[in-house]
Structure 1
């Protein structure tokens, strides 16, 4: 049951990406999808718009200016340029401004409005400034990343993504606070797993790659409240419940069931059609 739901979910994601590839190149769709994943729930739209306004092909032709363009179009340079007092941040911002100012007039109409960004309630490691730094680092290493995504093996992709480093962002949370006491991963293991499941594997399915056996071996990196709710409703006190929520495949299957049934049922399971459908199978 869960495997079938997870298979459906994976195929649905593959179909969505295939539709996008029809209007773009595979690399552009990969870039946009990864940017969307780095935006998390709060800033998904902002990161998606940023990736659309600054296509990967455009950034790769301007490698030296790519990071400045990303931060400039995001609107982060205009807002913070006069407020940052810390020496390390000022030095970094000055380097970005040195490259951004020559593009600013031409791209001013593309700058994202500040109200689009959601800064409150975001963990320091997931701050949009830092996530944008991660995206910039990924653009720099794109050739290697793209090669790994074509192979569609989870472990090498996750090692690469979690191993990304940046001279400033590996040690800073955002542009307005002091640096961290030690270097931290730009992209953590949970977000790397999310990229594999929601981007890399669906693209591999479109490439007719068989990723299912690897998919079933992956463990969930973080707990999902929606998956826990679905598991509790489906399995009650069954001890297998924890097994399903700890497996990434099981978690994805539970999420699909939650979206298809739990979100549409206001009767607290009393009138849910899912049991009847199970009996008909």
Structure 2
């Protein structure tokens, strides 16, 4: 079988689940093989499986198993000079093309699986690996054979993985802030208002604009806007301001920037992405919305943590912007009509991507599993998301009722379907399992 078709990960999967014909199993050296325990996957450097228990000939061995597509890969990876691989008692390969040895020169027993893999299993694996149409799932053609319960359990599993990953990012931020939850909430909320296209820019802005300064001036919405827009690099000099309001913001910013020594950390205007964004998503509009939230709240963390319902969180986030930003998408450029306010769908994205990870991170820091579950349950109170990534899953009859389903399907797509990690997915594994002969 050509090297290009097969991936080593598939042999790991086959060995872990013992999905091969074990009739008269023998090494290339002629010793009978009995697998008592295949071992446990090793996530660190060294052999692929540890603590395997095997009978080779008349001797029982406890040791490691190394897996390659070709036996010669042992030498290609320089294992013959690495003492970590001296513990290998069996070298499992697709094709045995040459003998291999440990550092002391002793030969490693080799087991070749190529003649022992069921053609149906190989065909199912190839179908997953080479399925066309990138907008569909690799397993789309075989999905009718997968029970709905398997789908539901996989989506729930990856939802928890996604939430845990986001919570870990929040915990990292929390550590970087010196374990200041208020500062953490500011950084996470600001990034959330970037809505993907400007997430990095808003993260930089939040880091460049000290929260204590914003707090000190939050009672004046105009000062809050001056700090945000000025530090963002989006205000021209007062002498070049397109209108009186922008000139006033710039003068206010210049005064505050001098007072708090902010100028050196101000962002250049080219940091921000306007291209291919609808005007309602312009970063200037999002900054005005963020300014309104900051102006309305004396604190960020505790209200986001304690809000009991989605409706309460909506009230925290859906705050009217200043009169100027109800009529402008960009400084000095009046809109033809009213500028749309932050919508409920955007507020729901902020709850999903900011509030839930923030709450989970805080609950994990207290080792409060009940609070973790309550935070995740908040997603089930939100309506489902609608986007082009999720549409194919709906078409293939995946359950999609709430934001919890949306987040789970997004995690499935980005973590498993798009990179074709079918071997690590319960759905892909079920499809392959159906193609393994019962007697093996």
Same fold (TM over 0.5): yes
Superposition deviation, residue 174 in structure 1: 1.7
Match of 1:227 among 390, 412, 418: 390
Whether 1:21 and 2:21 are equivalent positions in the alignment is no
1:253 corresponds to which residue?
408
Whether 1:143 and 2:143 are equivalent positions in the alignment is no
Kept after mapping to 1: 8 A contact 2:208/2:265: yes
1:174-199: CA deviations, max 9, x gaps? 213214534631x2212211111111
Whether 1:197 and 2:352 are equivalent positions in the alignment is yes
Kept after mapping to 1: 8 A contact 2:197/2:273: yes
Match of 2:248 among 83, 91, 95: 95
Kept after mapping to 2: 8 A contact 1:145/1:157: no
Of Structure 1 and Structure 2, which has the larger fraction of its residues in strand? 2
Kept after mapping to 2: 8 A contact 1:28/1:57: no
1:9 corresponds to which residue?
162
Summarize the alignment of residues 145-164 of structure 1 with structure 2, pairs less than 5 Å apart. Answer: 146-152=301-307, 153-164=309-320
Q: How many residues align?
A: 260
1:31 corresponds to which residue?
186
Summarize the alignment of residues 22-171 of structure 1 with structure 2, pairs less than 5 Å apart. Answer: 22-24=175-177, 25-63=180-218, 64=220, 65-78=223-236, 82=240, 84=242, 90-104=243-257, 106-143=261-298, 146-152=301-307, 153-171=309-327
1:87 corresponds to which residue?
none
Larger radius of gyration: 2
Distance 2:404 2:237 in 1: 42
Kept after mapping to 2: 8 A contact 1:171/1:184: no
Distance 1:78 1:31 in 2: 26
Of the two structures, which has the highest relative contact order with CA contacts closer than 8 Å and spacing of 6 or more? Answer: 1
Kept after mapping to 1: 8 A contact 2:284/2:329: yes
Of Structure 1 and Structure 2, which has the larger fraction of its residues in helix? 1
1:81-104: CA deviations, max 9, x gaps? 6262xxxxx121122122122245
Distance 2:299 2:268 in 1: 33
Q: Describe the SS at the equivalent of 1:223.
A: coil
Q: TM-score, normalised by structure 2?
A: 0.54
Whether 1:272 and 2:425 are equivalent positions in the alignment is no
